[in-house]
Amino acid sequence: MKVAKKKKIKNIRGRRKEPLKSPNERKRLLFSWQYNALFCSARRLLKTPASSAMTILVIAIAMSLAGGFYVALSNSQHVFDDVQMGRQISLYLYEHVNDDEAMLLAGQLKNKKQVAKVAYISKQQALDEFQMYSGFSGALNALANNPLPRVIQVYPETKFSESIDFETLLQFLEAQPAVEFAQMDMQWVSRLQAMMGIVHNFSHALTVLLIIAVILITGNSIRLELQTRRDEIRVEKLVGASNAYIYRPFLYTGFWYGFLAGVLAWLIIAGIVLLLESPVEQLLALYHSAYQLRFMGLNDSIVFIILSSLLGVLGALIAASQQIKNITNY
């Protein structure tokens, strides 16, 4: 009996010292560690629902501001591209140019890659429009000849972003033999581009500040949790726990903060877009635009939530690396 017991104990000890049998077993063990750390960190957040909800809400507000600026800039760029007011170039043709020559020129200009659309207005169409809107139809009927010129309206491609592109196109159009002179409100285009540049730069600067705020908020929350688990970390370090093992639950906590805040921020932005959709469309209808307010696409939404999660992990990593170093050196 004693011999059997000794053999049994020896076999048990021998099995404990055996290495892992296969790489698959190592992978399963690593996955088990990651799985436990992920859901243990989620359970810790649920144990303090009030403080966790406040942290997530603050991060979500910061992320919703950054995402809201992105959606607003995207929509404003599409609106300015869609509304062509002040962007068309009016070509006034010489009196000797007939309708066939004018339409031939309009067809040639339409084939240019810098031109999005061309509209031809004949002398009779110009006269009809002037009589309709001016209120001088009786006086115009008394004229023996139609004094209004033939006009070709050229709409440049919306991808032009610099006023120099418009000026180059304007010079080319003015050089056409049938064109007496070309007219375009370059000041309107310059003002519009200057305004969009200011808005873009301001939104980029504010987005950077909001990203820094998300990292700091997450880091501060992780720092407070580290302070409450100071003794636990010291014991883990004394028994030989690696830095990766100690960092893991805090990084996953930062992930949960960022992920949940990203989803909440997405819902906040979606609600704001729904509230503004009808008033914005009514306003644009006054400018003869059928543009519909756009929200984030599927890819943008996924990237937004992933970015929020990564910011949470980054904030947790910065706080954990500093605090754990101070705790273990104490």
Look at residues 184, 219, 252 and tell me which one is the last residue of a structural domain: 184
The Cα–Cα gap between 258 and 311 comes to 6
Is the per-residue pLDDT at 119 higher than 90?
no
Instruction: Note whether residue 29 is domain-resident.
Output: no
pLDDT at 26 over 70: no
Looking at the structure, tell me whether residues 175 and 303 fall in a common domain.
no
For 187-203, what is the mean pLDDT? 77
Between the alpha carbon of residue 101 and those of residues 90, 262, 307, the distances in Å are 17, 59, 57
Q: Note whether residue 13 is domain-resident.
A: no
pTM above 0.75, yes or no: no
Instruction: Examine residue 202 and state whether it is found in any structural domain, yes or no.
Output: yes
pLDDT given for residue 72 in this prediction = 87
Which domain CATH number covers 175? 3.30.70.3040
Lowest mean pLDDT among 108-122, 188-202, 253-267, 270-284: 188-202
Task: For residue 160, tell me if it sits in a domain.
Answer: yes
Whether 125 and 62 share a structural domain: no
Q: Give residue 236's pLDDT band: very low, low, confident or very high (50, 70, 90).
A: confident
Answer whether 276's CB lies under 8 Å from 289's CB: no
Confirm whether 26 is domain-assigned.
no
Q: Extract the tokens encoding 119.
A: 């509209």
Q: At which of 141, 161, 184 does a domain end?
A: 184
Higher pLDDT, 87 or 260: 260
* DSSP string for residues in 277-328: HHHHHHHHHTTT---------HHHHHHHHHHHHHHHHHHHHHHHHHHHHHHH
Asked whether residue 94 falls in the same domain as residue 170, the answer is: yes
Domain boundary (154, 184, 214) is at: 184
Asked if 217 and 144 sit in the same domain, the reply is no
- Structural domain range at position 156: 87-184
What length is written for the chain?
Answer: 330
What pLDDT band is residue 307 in, cutting at 50, 70 and 90?
Answer: very high
Residue for token digits 């929509």?
75
- Domain assignment present for 34: no
Mean pLDDT, residues 99-123 taken together: 83
Asked if the model's pLDDT at residue 328 lies above 70, the reply is: no
Q: Does pLDDT of 309 surpass 90?
A: yes
Residue tagged 């076999």 (tokens): 11
Query: Does residue 201 sit within a domain?
Result: yes
Instruction: List alpha helices for the chain, DSSP H.
Output: 2-17, 23-47, 49-82, 99-110, 123-134, 137-141, 163-174, 186-228, 230-238, 243-285, 298-329
Residue 68 in any domain: the answer is yes
Please say if the pLDDT value at position 296 is more than 70.
Answer: yes
Beta-carbon contacts of residue 162 (< 8 Å; ≥ 6 apart): 193
Number of structural domains the chain divides into: 2
Rank 26-30, 118-122, 195-199, 224-228 by mean pLDDT and report only the highest: 118-122
Q: How confident is the model at residue 257 (pLDDT cuts 50, 70, 90)?
A: very high
Q: Give yes or no: residues 305 and 179 share one domain.
A: no
Question: Which of 14-23, 118-127, 241-250, 297-306 is the most confident on average?
Answer: 297-306
- Residue 16: per-residue pLDDT: 44
**Distance of alpha carbon 330 from alpha carbon 322, whole angstroms:** 13
Q: How many CB atoms lie within 10 A of CB 174?
A: 15
User: Could you tell me if 306 and 160 lie in one domain?
Assistant: no
Lowest mean pLDDT of 74-88, 178-192, 263-277, name the range.
74-88
* Mean of per-residue pLDDT scores for the chain: 77
- Amino acid (1-letter code) at residue 171: Q
Give the tokens for residue 177. 């033999």
| pLDDT tens by residue, 41-68 | 788 888 888 888 999 999 999 999 989 8
Sheet holding 89-93, edge to edge: 115-121, 151-156, 89-93, 179-183
